[in-house]
Structure formats: C-alpha cells, structure tokens
Amino acid sequence: MKNIDAARRPGIRFRAGVLCAALGVGLGVVLNGAWDIQVKDGEAWRTLAEKQRMRQLRVTPKRGTIYDRAGTALAISVDVPSVSMDAVEMLRGVEQKYLAGRIDGYAARIAEALHLEVAEVAEKLRRGKRFTWLKRRVTSDEVKAVRELGDRNQRYPILGLSVEGEGRRFYPHRELAASLLGFVSPDGQGREGVELALDEQLRGRAEEIRGLRDRAGRLIFSEGIQDEAALAGHDIHLTIDQSIQFLAERELDAALKTHEAKAGSILVVDPQTGEMLALASAPGFNPNDYNLADPASIRNHAIGDVFEPGSTMKMFSMAAALSANSVKPDEPVYCEEGHMPIDNVVIHDTHVSKWLTPTQILQYSSNIGIAKIGLGLGEEKLYQSFRRFGFGENPGLPVSGSSVGILRPRARPWVPVETASAAFGQGVSVTNLQLTMAMAALANRGRLLEPILVSKVTDSTGVVLSEATPKVRRQVVSPRIARMMADMLSSVTEGEGTGVEAAIPGFRVAGKTATAQKVDPTTGRYNDVTYVTSFIGFVPAERPRLVVSVVIDEPTAGANSGGSVAAPVFRRVAEQSLHYLGVRPDGTRAVKLTDVAEYAKVDDPAKSAYAALDERPDSGGEEAPADGPGVPVRDGVKVPLIEGLPMRSAIQTLLEKGFVPVIQGTGRLVRTEPAVGTKAPRGAKVVLVFEPPT
C-alpha cells in the first residue's frame, strides 16, 4: 500500500472491505447450508443417500419338496431359466429423437429371439421400468439367443437383458396322487390339494438382503443372508405309500373303464394309526400340465364328493343298536317278507325274508331289518351315534376341498320314515373319507382316530419341525361291540353274503356292500338308472392291518351293484397291498426280503437261508403247453406272472416259488429272463428288468 498513490488508497481499502464482506457472507451461506444438510436435515438426506447407494433384493426361497412315507419325492422344485429386462439400462444414453426408432429396433430383435410379439415387447420397453419379465421358462435355444443379443462385440448390443433361474414345480410321477397333491401356479402359489393347504410351509419365508449397486443398478456387494433356512421352504413327508397309491389308482382306472363309470375313489388306511396309505381319485390329471386338464378331473372325489352311502350305513346303525342294547346279537327280526309300508312310502328288500338275525340282516343287506332296528333305537340315539362316528363333521385332513357331508340336524323330531331311511343310508350324505375313518373305528377296537396325512415336517437342513402321532378323537363303541361287528361283517364276504367277491383267499374279510340310488335333480326323486356303488372293509378281520374303501359313481356298463362292481376292486387292492406289506395268511410262513443280494450269490440254494422253500409242494409244476413261452423243463417250476408289480412284490413272489431274483434297473417290472410262463429248475436265477415309468 506504501507504493500506491495516497489518493487511491481509500478506494482500494473500500473495495477490499466489500470483497471480504462478500466472501464472509458467502462463507456464512455455505456454512448455513452445510448445517442444514448435515445437522438439521441430515437424517432425511442420509436416508435418501442410502436408497440411492444401497439396493434391497427380496430372495424367494425354493419351494419345499413333498415326499411319500419312504422318502420318494412326489413333488419337487427345479430351476428353469426366465428372461427379464431393465428398460432404463437398455435405453440409457439414447437421445430423445432416436428413442422411438431404437425401441422398435430392440423390440424386433428381442421378439425374434424369444418368439414373442413385437408390439408386446415394444410396449414393455416404453413403460421404462427397471424390472419386467419378458418371458418365463424359456428354452436353451432362447437363452443362447438372448445372450448373443447382449454380446458387446457386436455393433449394437442390447444391454439390460438378464437370464435368471426361476423355480418350477415338477411332479416326477405325473398323474400319481395328482388330486391329492394339487399343483402350483407360475407365480409360485399353491393351487388345490396339499400344495394349497400347506402352501405357507412349503413356500417358506422370503428374505430381504441389502447391497451396494453401481450406476446401472447391478448388485456389487451383498451383506449376506442372515438365516440359511430362508433359502428353502419346509419339506412335507406324507404317510402315502407310493406303491399302494399306484396299485389303487391302477385298479380304480380299470374299474372306471370296465363299467364306464363317471368317477370313483379308493382310500387305504392303517386302522391302528389313522395313517393314509393311499388316496386315489379318478378321473385324474397330469399336474405338470394342469392348464390342459378338465376342471372335473382336478377334483379330489375321495374328500370332496358327497353321496348317500346306502347300505354301508347299516353297520354303523347296527353298532349303535348293539351298544344301546336295543337289539340282541341273536335276536331275530321279522322282515315282513320283503315289503314294509311306513308313513307314505314302502320299503323293499332285494332278498325276501321272514326272520333274520342281526348278522343275517348285514349279510343279506336287509333294508327292512335295519329300518326296524333303527326305529327301535330311536331317532335321537341314531343321530347321536352317527355324529360319534364322525359323520357331519370335518375329518381334519390337511387338504383343500374337503367336505363335511350332510347330516341333517334334529331341529325337529324325525318322522318314522326319516329314521328308518337314515338307518340304511338314505337322507344322509357322507364322503369316502368319513366312511373310511368310521370303518377304521370298528377295526380299531371302537376308537375313532384322526386321519394322518402328513407324518412330519422338516426344514431344508433335515431338522424335524413337527411330527404327527396317532390321536384318538373318541371311543365310539366298546371293544366288545367292535369285535362283534367284525364277526358280523365277515359274514358279508362269506357264504351267501352280498360281498363274496371281496373275499381274499387265506384271510377273513369284514366289510359291507352298498348300491345307493341317486336322486334325479329334475324330479327330486330316487331313480333306477344312476347309482353309487361301494364296498368298504378291513382285513384281516381278526387283526386288521388295512381298511380299504372303494366308491364307484354311476357305473353304466354291466352290473351296477356294490357286490359286483366295487367288491372285486376291494379284493385286488387289499390282496396286493397285504402282499406288498408282507402280511401272510394264517398258517403260512413269512419270507424275509432282506439280504436278497447275498442270496443271489449262493450257488447251491440248498445251503441258503431259503432252502425251506424247496421242501414245499408247488402247484405250478406241470409242464408248459407246447405253444407256450419257453422250453419245458422236467420237474421245473413256471416263472409266475409278475410283470407290472412293484419290486418288493415281485421279489417275494419269486422267492415263494424257489427262484433267485436278480435285480436290474428301477421303477416298474417290464420283463423277466426267463420269460413269464417259462419253466425253470428250483434255485435258478430270474433276472427282473425294471424301467422307470415314461
């Protein structure tokens, strides 16, 4: 300042002061803004910064697997590729004047690669969303084409396309237990059956993860998943046995085709535990292609269809009357010679009789006899006994579409004809499941159990989260009455009983037939054209192992009675199931199926643990006919008819004949070497060729 002219010094000082003041004011404004941003409004700005810097992803866990009782997968989830699009990234940097042309060009190329409509892809591009599904469940060729579109070595690569793995539900056994399992929609939601009823457990819990993202929004760092169990839903283990389910469905399909029936169902239950071993419903569908199925075929007829049970209700009416001492086990009942007027109707019997004991009433299925017993018991006790057997209430099975049937409440006293008709199964509607569990109560010393379908639930690491145990709902009748009913119902399948077609050689079968008329919806009256035929029973009658219930709706070809339509189906299902489970008739020795491989290595069958088989006479020792398969072998044994049987049953049948089974492959038995019907010496090896179902 000393070198500056004195006249200019005041002006310079003034300008410097103004500049300093301006800088001070500016600094104050900056500091004030910094205070507002970092202190006053700091929390809001930090939240905004986190949203821009961090990215939250919602991880959908893999759907749990459904297994049968032996651990065979019935429903699994597999990853299939799907293509998504980030429209913002794809169109980043494109000037507005070129935007429309670029969208049309990209849309045409993407549509060609994914076999989509150009207009559809262009519309998704114009929306400008960060995530949009272009096509789900694409083929390997389409995946290759999409990756070629994003190749940066070409002149105009299309960025923003992603190929992601997406879970798809797959049912490896196709139609097997389809109505029971249900299916899953493309959005991962369970639809019908177990998939719907246990959807929350199967889907698991969605987990959110946080990570840094770059300018394109791509995740470049993840904080990780806190709970490893969130990566997968829970696994469901059913009590269903795949082999018993298969043979039940096979016999049911054959019966529907033979009798040209509308629908049907078969239930197989362990009466000691209440476990469902098979729950078959027909017609069925393929859950892998459920969108192609007829809606009627998706219905689970075993738990959803209600029908008048007809004569199967007579055994529960009889059990109630015996429990109340309103009838004695040997007390004869006058059956009016097959014709009894009551109120404004006339009750008829198919087997015209005068006097019948309670056992004969069940054996010949007398409507008049059981009607008189029901009237003697009284409408109040009859109604209460039906309730105690579980009719009119939900059995408690964890499957969607279950019905409770119709048991009309006693809002007013029943007139005599209502009581009489209810005693033989008219005016009452039930489901096959209710009938089965009620019959299981008679087989299990009078104890009504809750049905068990899910044996246990495990997480993705195998830890058991819950496990089912047998649970008794109530004691319906005393063990003495249950034992008495087993003896009475055994007469149905013996002698002149209506269910002789259900008899199984070597076993006593306790059961009951029914041929129930259906109501014509136009007239509201019973007709003589459409029927529901059924047979339900347990075996062996002395120590029940299985309860099997067969219901065939509207058989039209051939016979239409329960004894001729449903009883043979019961016999085949029960007999094969007992064989599969290793239950032997009284007086025979069980053949163990363990160490089959070791047995196959024994050169001299006489030295094996199965040598006793060679000492038994064989009924199939006659020579094969000249035009039959194979060459006759002197003193040989025919290879039995075992094609199509499960592995366990095929092995046991061969062991009983004295052969050494050699296993090749898995699945169903397709052929034997030597062929079925060929004679071979005892101890010869028989190769069993199994192939998985196609």
Domain ranges of the chain: 58-238, 242-581, 596-691
Residue 456 CA, distance from chain mean position: 15
pLDDT digits (tens, 9 = 90+) for 148-180: 888 888 877 888 888 877 678 889 898 999 999
Handedness of CA 549, 305, 380, 524 (dihedral sign): negative
Q: What is the pLDDT of residue 166?
A: 67
Q: What is the pLDDT of residue 611?
A: 34
Its pTM stands at 0.70
Q: Are 278 and 176 in contact (CB under 8 A)?
A: no
Torsion angle defined by CA atoms of residues 537, 540, 541 and 544, in that order, rounded to the nearest 10 degrees: -80
Q: What is the pLDDT of residue 601?
A: 40
Return the minimum-mean-pLDDT range out of 3-17, 59-73, 200-214.
Answer: 200-214
SS (H, E, C) 212-249: EECCCCCEEEECCCCCHHHHECCEEEECCCHHHHHHHH
Query: Which tokens sit at 353?
Result: 């009789």
d(CA 60, CA 479): 52
pLDDT digits (tens, 9 = 90+) for 71-101: 999 999 887 788 888 888 888 877 788 888 8
Q: What is the pLDDT of residue 598?
A: 39
Most confident residue range from 207-211, 518-522, 643-647: 518-522
**pLDDT, mean over the chain:** 82
Q: Which of 567, 488, 473 is nearest to 319 (CA)?
A: 488
From 82, 265, 311, 455, active-site residue: 311
By the 10 Å C-beta count (0-12 exposed, 13-18 middle, 19+ buried), 279 is classed as: buried
Q: What CATH class does 58-238 carry? A: alpha beta
Q: pLDDT > 70: what percent of the chain? A: 84
Q: Is 311 a catalytic residue?
A: yes
Q: Which CATH superfamily is domain 242-581 in?
A: DD-peptidase/beta-lactamase superfamily (3.40.710.10)
Whether domain 596-691 has CATH 3.30.10.20: the reply is yes
Query: Which tokens sit at 690?
Result: 């199994």
pLDDT digits (tens, 9 = 90+) for 360-381: 999 999 999 999 999 999 989 9
Q: Is the pLDDT of residue 590 over 50?
A: no
Q: What is the pLDDT of residue 597?
A: 37
Q: Which of 550, 558, 557, 556 is nearest to 514 (CA)?
A: 550
Q: Is the pLDDT of residue 214 over 70?
A: no
d(CA 536, CA 148): 63
Residue 619: pLDDT band with limits 50, 70, 90:
very low
Q: Is 529 helix (H, G, I), strand (E, B) or coil?
A: strand
d(CA 391, CA 429): 9
